[in-house]
Amino acid sequence: MQKRLLSPEQLVAFARQRSPYYAHLYRDVPQAGWQLADLPLTDPVTYWQGNFSLQDWSVLTGPVNEAIVFKTGGTTGNAKLSIYSRDEWLSFVTVFGRSMDNQLQPGDRFANLFFAGDLYASFLFIHGALTHMKVPVCEYPFTGTIDFSSLSAQLLRHKINVLAGIPAMLLRYAADLATNGRTLPGITTLLYGGESLFDEQLRLFKQVFPCARIASIGCASVDAGLIGASTIDCQLDEHRSFEPETIVEIIDESTGETIQEPHRPGMLVVTNLTRTLTPLIRYPVGDLAAWVEPEGITARKFILLGRSSLGHRIRVGYTSLYPDELAVQIGDVVGNYSWQLLIEQTGSCHHLTVRIAFSGNNAQAESLIQRITEDDPSIAKQSQAHQLTLRVQWCQQSDLTLHPRTGKLQRIVDRRNYGVKAGEKE
């Protein structure tokens, strides 16, 4: 049975009664007469504290007896766990699956190249979504670890015309095809999820998949749940709010003001009205976004504009980086100095630069890089695949980038080119 929708008032009443976390967060909120914008934002750092022990996690509203548990990322020893009741998971995949109807055609042959295993959610999530589509398609559940030569042979043998996966995996496959001088004109649709695509990456896809329409499969995450649906009229990085299951807000990072006017960037915040085991109320997902349609439109469209400077989780390829964990690593190896993470991109390779206001040396830089890669082996794997570089840059305090309005240190500086500006068409 699909999970029923609660009103914001019902969800908040339930959460503050059953969850110690929300009881504390809303201790100064009146029982009635408030608007959603009156509620404090959920702090992702405190939200996930104690999450490794499901018996003690203060967000939970009840015991974890009938549920499905996934990892949301993080370092090997400090991964966060995201939990859905069976009804919540069914609602999640059903709503997302129905949103995929407009991206696929009856009879499409769909290669599921997302990742599975070790509590990873994406493959199972897309598999579940496909089973709840109204459009009949045929799924080929390869996973993202399939050998490329085997994949190419089976795409041709089975006349598969749709590829779906995370950009990091799809780009590796495209680079392999390009290196071997191959193209696959039989691929008519390429759906990506998990991160944005950039101009040089799109050119590579067009080179090896010349007949493919390229689109987001939709915007969701295992921690934040439903975020945005990808419809046929969406440009790259544009999505429509999942209504009525999710309330999407865009919040000014410096003032906390709710933004309603189009084209003004702010922090993307979601409230999920179907999740009650681990309520998600005014939760910052870590992205910047802007509305591209006027207020009052149903399933209003927004565009993703990169990572928020306050982002709790940074997605780079199939790696999830957490600034609070990076702060601990820097403190252990170097000391407690001001720092920020710079994210840049050329072609299919992401460049991560940890900038630290300290006069360090090469040995300390190498030790920090070793610590980071040991804690998260996926960084080393992407480095070996030439999809990611990681370096340490020593600098002066005055070299660190500050927020232009507040003057506060920007922990995350995302300089990747997200292409289309807010609300503009290509």
DSSP 271: E
For residue 31, count CB atoms less than 10 angstroms from its CB and return exposed for 0-12, middle for 13-18, buried for 19 or more.
Answer: exposed
pLDDT at 407: 60
Residue 425: burial class (beta carbons within 10 Å; 0-12, 13-18, 19+): exposed
Structure confidence at residue 153 (pLDDT): 97
CATH architecture of the domain 322-414 equals: 2-Layer Sandwich (3.30)
pLDDT score, position 210: 97
Percent of the chain with pLDDT over 70: 93
Q: Is the pLDDT of residue 399 over 90?
A: no
- How far is 144 from 167, CA to CA, in rounded Å? 11
Q: Which CATH number fits domain 8-90+219-307: 3.40.190.10, 1.10.40.50, 3.40.50.12780, 3.30.540.10?
A: 3.40.50.12780
Q: How confident is the model at residue 424 (pLDDT cuts 50, 70, 90)?
A: very low
pTM tops 0.85 = no
Domain ranges of the chain: 8-90+219-307, 104-216, 322-414
Q: What is the pLDDT of residues 331-351, one digit of tens each?
A: 999 988 889 999 998 877 889
What digits encode the pLDDT tens for the residues 234-271? 998 999 999 999 999 999 988 889 999 999 999 999 99
Same fold flag, 8-90+219-307 and 104-216: yes
Q: What is the pLDDT of residues 100-133, one digit of tens each?
A: 999 999 999 999 999 898 888 999 999 999 999 9
Cβ neighbours of residue 326 closer than 8 Å, sequence gap 6 or more: 339, 341, 354, 372
First to last CA, the chain: 42
Q: What's the CATH fold of domain 104-216?
A: Rossmann fold (3.40.50)
What integer is the mean pLDDT of 51-67?
A: 90
- pLDDT of residue 387 exceeding 50, the answer is yes
Least confident of 176-190, 262-276, 371-385: 371-385
